[in-house]
Structure 1
């Protein structure tokens, strides 16, 4: 796993079914209810494993949280890569990324950005979980900045920061109110940025 997590696996290097259940359960509950509000006892009970099994796969709750964020990071990277690959023009790639973000905001059970939620619960910049959030956000900023640079509309650095802020705002508003007008405003703002 990335960012300093130490994935423990079964003999032969394959991930065990118990580990997958633990991570799947933690992912569902952490995202829906928050990280600090959920104890390992609940995760163990819902995953139907023993506490010893949890500690065989993860050194503790922090490592489980890092695995949850790593899984979220991989999912978002795949989503952004697929969206960008679906279009030929540089501006089309940026629009496709924006549309994929809007689709996520419109999805059932959307509760904001998993990374912003984690940062709110782990505000210490030195904490490994906060560092994982920052690493994901750096990747996202670099990715959208590179896509924007290909449009030939400078300055790409400022536009990249602008797009990240638009995304953050849309994700926050999308879980607090009707996501449809939020997504419409977000997509219009991205279009306006590309056309300016």
Structure 2
């Protein structure tokens, strides 16, 4: 846990640090951005950074936590916006496509972080795995509500489609990638066991 969240309050300086880190880590990669750059962009002192974060890894974990909460909120909103279980899956898929089609899209923050922190014992890699497990569990639950048996296989299939769409979305035409992903989700929904 970052030092800035232990008290439960968020200072303006911590917010600026996290905003600068989020923007630059996502756009340029985590290892390529040093703390001096974050400090300069956030317009704080080094002491302020270390008052809120134990070090760069702690800042990266806060960045991933922010991304995780954003995705959880999107999924919760998508689930709340639809009545039927298949429409909930479609709503989650559309929220992912909206991200892929957004300006500045550079792939999945979690897949990007995993590529930079491949050691499975590293706290950043573990944070990536925790997020991915939550997402897999969530879509598996939704697919079980749709009548998929076994739902775990369909959930893994959807996550693999999502991963491919996230990688392709920053390399190819995001509109085409989004349409292809949505068609794949429809294929999963249509393949459920009777």
Among 2, 9, 14, which residue is 1:6 paired with? 2
Q: Which residue of 1 aligns with 2:162?
A: 167
Using structure 1 for the length normalisation, give the TM-score: 0.95
Among 28, 31, 34, which residue is 1:33 paired with? 28
Point out 4+ residue stretches in structure 1 off by more than 6 angstroms: none
Once residues 190 and 9 of structure 1 are traced to their aligned partners in structure 2, the CA distance between those partners, rounded to angstroms, is: 37
Once residues 32 and 79 of structure 1 are traced to their aligned partners in structure 2, the CA distance between those partners, rounded to angstroms, is: 21
Using structure 2 for the length normalisation, give the TM-score: 0.96
Among 50, 54, 68, which residue is 1:59 paired with? 54
State the SS of the aligned residue for 2:161.
helix
CA root-mean-square deviation = 1.1
Cα deviations by residue, 1:100-135 (Å, 9 ceiling, x for unpaired): 100100000000000000000000000000000000
Once residues 98 and 11 of structure 2 are traced to their aligned partners in structure 1, the CA distance between those partners, rounded to angstroms, is: 32
Q: CA deviation at 1:155?
A: 1.4
Q: How many residues align?
A: 191
Contact 1:9 1:16 in 2 (8 A): no
Q: Which residue of 1 aligns with 2:174?
A: 179
Q: CA deviation at 1:7?
A: 3.3
Q: Which residue of 1 aligns with 2:93?
A: 98
Unaligned residue ranges in structure 1 (runs of 5+): none
Q: 1:9–1:112: structure 2 CA closer, same or farther, 3 Å change rule?
A: closer
Once residues 176 and 10 of structure 2 are traced to their aligned partners in structure 1, the CA distance between those partners, rounded to angstroms, is: 42
Contact 2:3 2:51 in 1 (8 A): no
Once residues 9 and 157 of structure 1 are traced to their aligned partners in structure 2, the CA distance between those partners, rounded to angstroms, is: 35
Counting only pairs closer than 5 Å after superposition, residues 1-196 of structure 1 correspond to structure 2 as 5-8=1-4, 13-196=8-191
